[in-house]
Amino acid sequence: MNEIYSKEQLQKLPFMDSNINLENRVEDLLGRLTLEEKFKLCSGRLMWHTKPIKRLGIKPFTMYDGPHGVRPDTVGETKCTYFPSGICRAATWSPKLSHEFGKAVAEEVREVGAHMLLAPGINIQRTPMNGRTFEYQTEDPHLNKVLAVATVKGIQSQKIAACVKHFICNNQETNRFTVSSEVSERALQEIYLPAFKATVQEADAWSFMTCYNKVNGIYGSENYNLLRERLMEQWGFRGFTVSDWNATANTSTESCVTAGLSLEMPTAKKYNKRNMKKAFQEGKFTEDSLNDNVKRLLRVMFLVGLYDADNTLPRGSRNTLEHQVIARKIAEEGIVLLKNEEALLPLDINTIKKLAVIGPNANFKIVEGGILSGGGSSENYPPYEITPLEGLKQKCKDKVEIIDTPSKADVTIIFAGLNHDPGMDAEGVDKNAFELPLDQIELINKTVRENPKTIVVLINGSPIAMEDWIDNVPSVIEAWYGGMEAGNAIANVLFGDVTPSGKLTMTFPKKLSDSSAHVSKRTFPGDDKVFYDEGIFVGYRHFDIKDIEPLFPFGYGLSYTTFVYKNLKMNKSKLRKDDTLIVSVDIVNSGKRSGAEVVQLYVQDIESSVERPLKELKGFKKVYLSPGGKTTVVFELGKRDLSYYDDVSGKWKVEEGLFSILIGSSSRDIRLQCKIEYIG
């Protein structure tokens, strides 16, 4: 069992042979491990690695954060491309860009010698106050799913493991190590689980990270129902689970092993040798459970090529021009034009003489003088950062003078918003205010009095209140945290080289109490428990059913051009069991500029016997059109898109009767609609 092998002998062992079937390699290696070696493999070493087992040539498996680029060390010695934040990437509504991002970031993971990226973060954006909203994608389960699947596929196309996090209902930072998210089965099924499930079933995700919090009373890392039953048995997950860093603190060794937690990170605590041995000897967990956990980790080690010759694996690369272009494209396409009265935007570089650029975020950077403020574990050390001011200076060079006095300028741009200081968009604590800091509100209102042609560009990662100033300002842009190419992307959009096409992936409420998580302290932030009393009515589902006018709705974003929707067609008006409904619509760019439109399809059950959302996103397509250009967008829907989760039977169910198919440019701008009947 514990033979010592020479190098030559090791090379001849079956698990070393890449021509042998994966499962046979896994079984062969597992069969050679002693009990103690298995224990050893179950916990981390030095923050980002598993422990090597020299006797068998098992090298450390290395994993790094995070969702916006690789961060191989905590002092910034190795620079990597800093991509736009998750909410910005999602606002592109482009699965293609998510895939490109995944592939590019995985190339950087490979280049720094690692095997797994601790990303994507796909927790549902339940509240604008979550400190980590900027890292996540959206409030909508369908959009979340499509983008998560594309990202995971992109990452794993390079034989790098994606680690989908944080499983599950880690929707706030307040009390994150102890709080229990109290959530109904229907809300889990319809809102919180779908994207996680799809990354397994549609993208074969190789790893999941457990959450810090409890879910209905049980911590994520020892949650048998979540890990063993749902993820592994029901969904068919073949990868391994890893604890969030120190998420095992309040759990027990045996319940984690039994629940299916393969790897405790960053170091051995519940899974240290003594605890493992004792619990095992006392019969608190079985060798079968342990073997399954270890097998999963070994399987992923094989999948990423840990035992294969380097020249047989995809090549890594880092900080390439190609990656920088992807970062810039995501930043450009993620920018959302929120308001544009009298077409103040785009700016004309040939007529503007003086441009005032002011505001606390004009020089926004995540690394300043060697000091990092990236908001927690998704921080990055980029090789460079183009700030908004630098981007504008480059664009305006020799053409437009940049000044800092609004009263003397043709147009003023204020870069306002938040940053990654604790209490703003940062991990570990939730936001301490929904409003912009008072001095920024005063700056905006004072500036617009001095120069009515004032544009506010927001750099932030979550919805904020705007009621105190938005009516005074003609144009507002949401530019998010746009990564290291942000300044170039913003300048391209402001001057019309790029037509904005981003759409909000989260509803922007007028006031916080309009948001479904903010009914009382019980619903946010709770105490030892936080109650998801809103159930399935998260985000626009809540604003619709309660008939609350949001500041900006889900799916919203303006353009410099206009789009006409026409010729809505369906292949049938009655749908039987496994029929496919094909819906098509023509989109025409009726304006004078090239641009892109995100065509959204929502479904409404008109005759439901249970309470259902007034609309649910079930399809979207982003189309790019030149002026006068036309295209036909086609959607395919099935029974599943009409169904809801029935608490009583514990099954997805679709009721016979009429449904509306709503096609729109946002969740509140429905351009065309038709009805179909489900006849079972």
Q: Which amino acid is at 363?
A: N
Strand residue runs (E) in 473-615: 475-478, 529-531, 563-570, 574-575, 581-589, 595-605
Q: Closest separation between CB of residue 108 and ligand BGC, Å?
A: 16
Nearer to ligand BGC, 244 or 333 (CB): 244
Q: Closest separation between CB of residue 177 and ligand BGC, Å?
A: 10
Helix or strand or coil: residue 58? strand
Closest-by-Cβ residue to ligand BGC is: 377
Q: Which helix (H) or strand (E) holds 618?
A: strand 616-625
Nearer to ligand BGC, 65 or 333 (CB): 65
> By the 8 A CB rule, do 602 and 555 touch?
no
Using the structure block, give the residue that is written with the tokens 């981390």: 44
Nearer to ligand BGC, 220 or 260 (CB): 220
Residue 639 main-chain phi, psi, to 5 deg: -50, -40
Nearer to ligand BGC, 244 or 430 (CB): 244
List of residues 6+ apart from 24 with CB closer than 8 A: 14
| Token representation of residue 346 | 């785009």
- R_g of the chain computed on alpha carbons: 26
Nearer to ligand BGC, 56 or 118 (CB): 118
Residue 318 main-chain phi, psi, to 5 deg: -145, 140
Nearer to ligand BGC, 66 or 334 (CB): 66
Q: Closest separation between CB of residue 66 and ligand BGC, Å?
A: 6
Q: Closest separation between CB of residue 199 and ligand BGC, Å?
A: 16
Spatial distance between the Cα atoms of 384 and 388, rounded to a whole number of angstroms: 13
Spatial distance between the Cα atoms of 501 and 237, rounded to a whole number of angstroms: 35
Q: Closest separation between CB of residue 64 and ligand BGC, Å?
A: 8
> By the 8 A CB rule, do 149 and 158 touch?
no
Spatial distance between the Cα atoms of 210 and 208, rounded to a whole number of angstroms: 6
Between 321-334 and 95-111, two packed helices, what is the crossing angle to 10 degrees? 150
Q: Closest separation between CB of residue 436 and ligand BGC, Å?
A: 27
> By the 8 A CB rule, do 322 and 104 touch?
yes
Q: Closest separation between CB of residue 167 and ligand BGC, Å?
A: 11
Nearer to ligand BGC, 66 or 550 (CB): 66
DSSP per residue, 109-132: HHHTT-SEE---B------TT-TT
Among 22, 82, 2, CA closest to 480? 82
Q: Which helix (H) or strand (E) holds 25?
A: helix 22-32
Spatial distance between the Cα atoms of 183 and 534, rounded to a whole number of angstroms: 9
Q: Closest separation between CB of residue 234 and ligand BGC, Å?
A: 25
Nearer to ligand BGC, 487 or 525 (CB): 525
Spatial distance between the Cα atoms of 444 and 522, rounded to a whole number of angstroms: 35
Nearer to ligand BGC, 133 or 377 (CB): 377
Q: Closest separation between CB of residue 245 and ligand BGC, Å?
A: 4
Q: Closest separation between CB of residue 521 and ligand BGC, Å?
A: 24
Using the structure block, give the residue that is written with the tokens 């205010």: 433
> By the 8 A CB rule, do 154 and 191 touch?
no
Spatial distance between the Cα atoms of 23 and 471, rounded to a whole number of angstroms: 62
Kind of pairing between the strands at 454-459 and 475-478: parallel
Q: Which residues are catalytic?
A: 244
Helix or strand or coil: residue 606? coil
Nearer to ligand BGC, 352 or 429 (CB): 429
Binding site for ligand BGC (CB under 6 A): 65-66, 118, 165, 244-245, 377
Among 246, 267, 255, 260, CA closest to 178? 246
Spatial distance between the Cα atoms of 373 and 206, rounded to a whole number of angstroms: 30
- Count other Cβ atoms within 10 Å, centred on residue 146: 24
List of residues 6+ apart from 326 with CB closer than 8 A: 83, 97, 100, 101, 104
Nearer to ligand BGC, 176 or 615 (CB): 176
Q: Closest separation between CB of residue 204 and ligand BGC, Å?
A: 21
Q: Closest separation between CB of residue 58 and ligand BGC, Å?
A: 23
DSSP per residue, 367-425: EETTEE-S-STT----S----HHHHHHHHHTTTSEEES-GGG-SEEEEEEE--SSTTSS
Helix or strand or coil: residue 657? strand
List of residues 6+ apart from 221 with CB closer than 8 A: 210, 241, 243, 244, 247, 248, 251, 256, 259, 261, 264
Spatial distance between the Cα atoms of 387 and 395, rounded to a whole number of angstroms: 12
Nearer to ligand BGC, 118 or 215 (CB): 118
